[in-house]
């Protein structure tokens, strides 16, 4: 058996087309969706991410603002900019690109963003809303993963066991909460979990989000399982790869996401979805 691919590029195009339609309708009503992206410092990877986000905004008809600052920007100055953006009626979503320079407290900056504009879904209020099942912005990467499950007919995971490998606040924990909300039984592990194979072999859905190559191999996967690879690494040849041994696992799994072309495109897409929802609430 060879797994079917969950094509993040194709799904992303579908979702973005819907966002563009909604953006046009909102703009016609006098509310053009607006996203502000703030970049502090000169991290090359961050610069690429930011450029892609701004480009995506333009493609769906959003108003986008990119603010670039030197790494010497003080925490107080950044907090003041966030406060100004909170008060700007033309801005419906605020994204401060992480990581920030070491002298700036990431958590303090994230918490300074108004929950109504927290389209990255990192604010404590957003996490709390997710925990109790209330309306709030979902973290973009796990939200994209859930959209991919929905696309293959697994929006309701009642009776299914899901394993999340990765415990970070950015992906692991919000991913587990979203899976629980979809009625799955969820186990959170990490790369050092004792007998990780015993956990993953029971799972109907495995989400690998560790940032470590080959953390999930074919012998660790239940035949027919859905495997979602959130990892972003480089192999020995310098090519992009995920956390999953793709060539081996695809011969066992029922569905699998590729890297690149899987979860990555969906992350930015769900940022657009969150910003669109914020504008529609305005």
What whole-number distance in Å separates Cα of residue 78 and Cα of residue 103?
A: 11
125-157 burial: b if 16+ Cβ within 10 Å, else e:
bbbebbeeeeebbbbbbbbbbbbbbebeebeeb
Catalytic residues: 53, 97, 120
Q: Report CA-CA distances (Å) from 267 to 166, 203, 271.
A: 17, 24, 7
What whole-number distance in Å separates Cα of residue 35 and Cα of residue 54?
A: 8
Q: DSSP 3-state assignment of 27? A: helix
What whole-number distance in Å separates Cα of residue 131 and Cα of residue 138?
A: 11
What whole-number distance in Å separates Cα of residue 140 and Cα of residue 158?
A: 23
* Centroid of chain to Cα 122: 10
Q: Which residues contact 205 (CB under 8 A, 6 or more apart)?
A: 149, 154, 157, 160, 161, 162, 163, 179, 184, 225, 226, 227, 228
């Amino acid at each position: 058996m060879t797994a079917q691919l969950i094509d993040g590029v194709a799904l992303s195009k579908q979702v973005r087309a819907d966002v563009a339609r909604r953006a046009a309708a909102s703009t016609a009503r006098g509310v053009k969706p607006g996203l502000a992206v703030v970049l502090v410092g000169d991290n090359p990877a961050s610069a690429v991410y930011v450029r892609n986000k701004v480009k995506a905004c333009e493609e769906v008809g959003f108003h986008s603002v990119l603010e670039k600052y030197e790494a010497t920007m003080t925490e107080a100055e950044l907090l003041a900019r966030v406060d100004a953006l909170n008060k700007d009626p033309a801005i419906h979503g605020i994204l401060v690109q992480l990581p920030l320079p070491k002298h700036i407290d990431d958590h303090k900056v994230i918490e300074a963003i108004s929950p109504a504009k927290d389209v990255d879904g990192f604010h404590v209020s957003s996490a709390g809303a997710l925990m109790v099942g209330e309306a709030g912005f979902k973290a973009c990467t796990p939200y994209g993963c859930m959209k991919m499950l929905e696309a293959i007919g697994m929006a309701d995971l009642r009776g299914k066991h899901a394993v999340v490998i990765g415990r970070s606040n950015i992906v692991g924990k919000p991913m587990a909460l979203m899976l629980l909300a979809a009625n799955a039984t969820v186990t959170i592990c990490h790369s050092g979990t004792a007998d990780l194979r015993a956990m993953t072999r029971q799972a109907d859905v495995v989400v690998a989000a560790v940032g470590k190559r080959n953390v999930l191999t074919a012998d660790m996967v239940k035949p027919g399982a859905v495997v979602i690879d959130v990892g972003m690494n480089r192999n020995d040849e310098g090519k992009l790869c995920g956390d999953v041994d793709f060539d081996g696992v695809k011969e066992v799994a029922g569905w699998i996401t590729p890297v690149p072309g899987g979860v990555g495109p969906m992350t930015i897409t769900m940022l657009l979805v969150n910003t669109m929802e914020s504008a529609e609430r305005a």
